[in-house]
Amino acid sequence: MGNPNGFLELERIDAAALDIRERIKNYNEFHTPLFKEEQQLQASRCMDCGVPFCQSGMNIGGSISGCPLGNLIPEFNDLLYRGYWEAAYKRLRATNSFPEFTSRVCPALCEKACTCSVGGDAVTVRANEFAIVENAYSHGYAKATPPEVRTGKRIAVIGSGPAGLAAADQLNRRGHSVTVFEKSDRIGGLLMYGIPNMKLEKHIIERRIQIMQQEGIEFKTGVNVGADIKADELLKSFDRVIIACGAGKPRDISAKGRDAKGIYFAVDFLKAVTKTLLDSKPCEGFVDTKGKNVIVIGGGDTGNDCVGTCVRQGAKSVIQLEMMPKLPDTRQPDNPWPEWPRVAKTDYGQEEAALIYGGDIRRYQTTVKEFISGKGNELKAVKLIELEAQRDEKTGRLKMTEKAGTESEVKADIVLICAGFLGVDDHIAKAFGTALDRRSNIASVNGTHLTSKERVFVCGDSRTGQSLVVRAIREGRDCAREVDESLMGYSNL
């Protein structure tokens, strides 16, 4: 610990966000990093406490507390404070395949478990990580390092999201030959088409992919495994196959009038917006909310991303529906540190919408009762109904039930459904003959990443269901180690 008084002498200072009215003019990232000297001082606030929960990644109170990757946070913070930027990068990369991604899109589980946050403000772990990796690129030591020896083993990875890329990166470093198959036209999976540019500009992904290509990984886009290429062909051509195609089956809303025109799944909406930006022309399925009344169903990160996107497109109005009650503003006695804080959060899109539309756009304990259409079955309004929380007498679980006499009607030209996902696309499981679990994810054997099909492994959202980017990277790394051990008899990954 370079400065034992850092957390006492210095206040937390984070990267500043651009003014809302300026940043909504485009889809660019909008935070301004600190100067290097300032970031080093922020790193000195890390206490190197006796039990660094920030890097534990343990399940506490039903949620993950600390970094699922086990990043050596006190160590790279201390190296950063002392000015050893390259050493800090090497320490960070030892556990994190893609710090350029996590430092932008991770909800910073590490900071929520930081000891400094018990009675004050957490260390700026995510901003420190961002500074370390961007400095590595600008100084040229975030570069390709191809393996010196090849093993002769070939591995196919299906899907190029964070789990698939992490598995490919690790196995290639071990000396295996890796080919990644992606059904979309660009590499990146949800990083490319599920997360808006405001949170992760796409040249950041392409920058890392170029390095991985230089290191020997082969990428094939526009290939839908199971349709364009048969599962048997892959198993004949490759020693192992990893399924990492995500959990892309969106959960629908079953309400009267669901067949009205103007109702879209969030994943399709966000993908089309990003592809239109990248191609510089409207793509198939592109939806423009300019001048429209929009209803966003779902209060999670995806719902917030839809709100931020609609604000940038110039929507006339936006209402965001959340079935559950509003969370408390501060930790409650039954939610102590270092558990993940179950508190209300206002994200960037909701902040922007509050300014543009004159107040909080969120409606808690509310859902759609009916979609109302007009001429040509075009959506024109939705009937909303309030919900109330009731405890199930048998299970003890909280369930939301309709509250009589609370129906209301609001104008709606477009509805975006952000209700989560229901597992993998059926055709992948059918193509390989792999078993599914009760949540429609691909089942793994005895807690490993091996599926019911010999030589076929699974990782990421395909195995766990919808989760965080940082957890997907951990999934990919763990899967790579198991694949390596199955090929070589041992693993040093």
pTM above 0.85, yes or no: yes
| Domain pair 6-138 / 263-417, same fold | no
Where is pLDDT greater, at 2 or 471? 471
CATH number, span 154-248+422-488: 3.50.50.60
Would you say residue 67 has pLDDT above 70? Answer: yes
The b-or-e profile of 253-288 (16+ CB within 10 A means b, else e) is bebebeebebbbbbbbbbbbbbbbbbeeeeeeebbe
In CATH terms, the fold of domain 263-417 is: FAD/NAD(P)-binding domain (3.50.50)
The string of pLDDT tens digits covering residues 414-466 is 999 999 998 898 899 999 999 999 999 999 999 999 999 999 999 999 999 99
pLDDT band at 1 (very low <50, low <70, confident <90, very high): low
The string of pLDDT tens digits covering residues 296-340 is 999 899 999 999 999 999 999 999 999 999 999 999 999 999 999
Question: What pLDDT shows up at residue 10?
Answer: 96
Residue range 6-138 forms a domain whose CATH class is mainly alpha
Question: What pLDDT shows up at residue 4?
Answer: 86
Q: Where are the domains of the chain?
A: 6-138, 154-248+422-488, 263-417
Question: What pLDDT shows up at residue 21?
Answer: 98
The string of pLDDT tens digits covering residues 105-149 is 999 999 999 999 998 999 999 999 999 999 999 999 999 999 999
Would you say residue 377 has pLDDT above 90? Answer: yes
Question: What pLDDT shows up at residue 48?
Answer: 80
